[in-house]
Amino acid sequence: MIHGGAGSMRPGKLDEAQEKAARAGLSNALDAGEAILAAGGSAVDAVEAAARVLEEDAAFNAGHGSVLAADGHVECDAAIMEGAERRAGAVAGLRSTRAPISAARKVMEDSPHVLIAKEGADEFAREAGLEQVANSWFVTPERRRQLDELLAKGHDAFDAEIKYGTIGAVAVDSDGHVAAATSTGGLTAKRWGRIGDSPLIGAGTYADDRAAAVSATGLGEIFIRTAAAHEICARMRFCGHDLQKALDDVLAEIGDMGGAGGLIAVTPEGQAAWSFTTPGMYRGRVGSDGGRQVAVFDASDER
């Protein structure tokens, strides 16, 4: 199961070309993850592969096509976690590492740390052999236009029609292990080194074989304050909530606190669910039963 961000997307208002590009990107990401799982691969490999496809796709706010910070640069955040041993890795503020989600995985597997940031994160990724690019590689003309438009409104401006284009993936493999991955460029015109929920384990990303794997998209500050991804797993473990109820109730709490967004999750038993409180969420899922969905708008779009 994957998401490409939740936000203000509405039928008839979302540019047709943008919608078509997003649906194609979601389908390509599903293909990448499905191929690994169908061959008996791990959930971690599947979510990394799906996230990499979305990071390379300018239709989404992660990797190439990320939004710009107020200083005109792109800063990428990402996290990955596996549910068997609850190992996790995350990076924040990357400016030159082409594959943020792969950097996060390197942190998980090849370092004693969970989260590293800024220049140190790029240095670690470079030493780990990951491809480095100029920051301009991440930038697209449309993202530059969005920044210029927002800055023209003043430093306190906020995009009311925002699309939280964070990308994410969750999966369960044939051994019943779950994994989650999340990657983002953050918010347009962010300042002061702002970091959202995506790279924070337990907030925007979490995986636990005792409950579920979860990836979030939305107003990160509220997802951090609710420890949203972990909260879902806690409600399942300690309160006996099913997956859909846990997602819906956590999003309701986020709404009560002034936030909005979406969540995707999957359990070790293969139950999968998504929930969102914005007009739309780029999303898709595919299962071993052959079922497949790619959707953008409300439930009527799930086909």
Q: How many domains does the chain have?
A: 1
Average pLDDT estimate for 51-64: 97
Q: Which residue has the tokens 């990303």?
A: 205
DSSP state of 100: H
DSSP state, 173?
-
Please tell me whether 219 is known to bind a ligand: yes
CATH number of the domain at 34, please. 3.60.20.30
Q: Is 194 annotated as belonging to a binding site?
A: yes
Domain ranges, residue 174 = 2-301
Average pLDDT over residues 140-149: 94
More confident residue, 101 or 8: 101
Is 97 one of the annotated active-site residues of the chain? Answer: no
Query: What confidence tier does 302 reach under pLDDT thresholds 50, 70, 90?
Result: low
| 195 marked among binding-site residues | yes
Residue of 97, 140, 166, 184 with catalytic role: 166
State the Cα–Cα distance between residues 49 and 34, nearest whole angstrom. Answer: 10
H-helix or E-strand containing 35?
Answer: helix 16-38
Q: What percent of the chain has pLDDT over 90?
A: 87
- What integer pLDDT is reported at residue 243 of this predicted model? 98
| Res 15: pLDDT | 81
Distance between CA atoms of 21 and 27, rounded to whole angstroms? 10
The answer to the question of whether 150 is labelled as a binding residue is: no
The pLDDT score that the predictor gives to residue 290 is 84
Name the band, by pLDDT with cuts 50, 70 and 90, for residue 249. Answer: very high
218 is an annotated ligand-binding site residue: yes
Q: Is 87 annotated as a binding residue?
A: no
